[in-house]
Amino acid sequence: MHIQTAAVHTLRDFEHGAVVPPVHLSSTFALDCASEGGDFAYQRGANPTRAQLETVLAALEGAQHGFAFASGMAATAAALSTLVVGDEVLLPASVYGGTYRFVDLVLPGRGVTGRFVDDLGALTDADFTPSTRAVFIETPANPTLRITDLRRISELAHRHGALVIVDNTFMTPVLQKPLDLGADVVVQSATKYLAGHSDLLAGTITTNDDALAEAFALAQKAQGGVLAPQDSFRLIQSIKTLPLRLERQQENAGAIVAHLREREDIARVWYPGSYSEEEARIHASQATGGGAVLSFELADGLDRVAFLEALHYPAYAVSLGGVESLICRPATMTHEAMTDEARANAGISPELLRLSVGIENLQDLLDDLDQALVAAR
């Protein structure tokens, strides 16, 4: 079953001939009095609607296990909660600011060390220590769109007994399946493309590892950061249009990248594979498209604030993946938790702008960008 079909038809055979799954709102469930057993007991541990969503998540990823959390950071925190005192995790310097904040401020209190690597793709055996227990990868990276070879890093990490955790938010399973490429765990901020309408907060984990699945189920039950039934239902419905939305968004993004690269008032454009021919080759070997996020800088002398204020369609706001285009300044918004030095090491300049492209008419978006560039002069 292709992913476009799986997004729609993974769940079937509902009561009364319904073609849409019901929402089970109950926080508690009656148990068998003799055995005290039952598939569900309390919503935090499990809920039928959330279980249906988790079935869909696993099917999209081609995974054995899926888990739904209350936010992308709740999912990332659960994935990193498998680390214990004395462990180390390697991450790219250009990692999502929320992940940076968690690793920089929370993990040290648990006795876990995070080491940020300028170029994660250049890792070698010498970069691993006896304490290295995980490698956390974003490919494409946020917001520089740098590419990491998932096959090579997975093989390298496993040789040293380290887990590979991949944040696949930018690609989604429609464009990239890290588990098939050697990763152990995939996390996503479902707030972004999976939900797709900037009105829902959610996070996901998928894995094929039974022991890790038990740990993530425990994280749901013990830490309580689970997705509510109503939001689980809404995410199931949103996922049905994910392939269609992403196809349109990616088409728009590719055209905008080509357009901006032709303009003298744009200093540089970042898009998956733009850093080098080698990264372009790697990305083409592990993903089926570039996605719908790009970053760019205005040429010297242009007024960034005037450019942003002149835009009609992209809202100046954090987040990405919604049907509407959004633009942000990572240095002061999504990655504000990083130090100036950390941002510099990650290649995130104060002038870098990140554009998440929506499903609007392409010509309207191009015209809007052009008139805003004129205003920036």
Active site residues: 44, 96, 167, 192
CA angle at residue 61 from 53 to 227, to 5 degrees? 30
Nearest-CA neighbor of 20 among 323, 238, 243, 247?
Answer: 238
Contacts of 277 (CB under 8 A, 6+ apart): none
The gap from C-alpha 41 to its chain's centroid, in whole angstroms, comes to 31
What CA–CA distance (Å, rounded) separates 216 from 40?
17
Q: From edge to edge, which strands make up the β-sheet containing 353-356?
A: 266-270, 293-298, 353-356, 326-328, 315-316
What CA–CA distance (Å, rounded) separates 213 from 177?
18
What CA–CA distance (Å, rounded) separates 222 from 194?
26
What CA–CA distance (Å, rounded) separates 350 from 335?
11
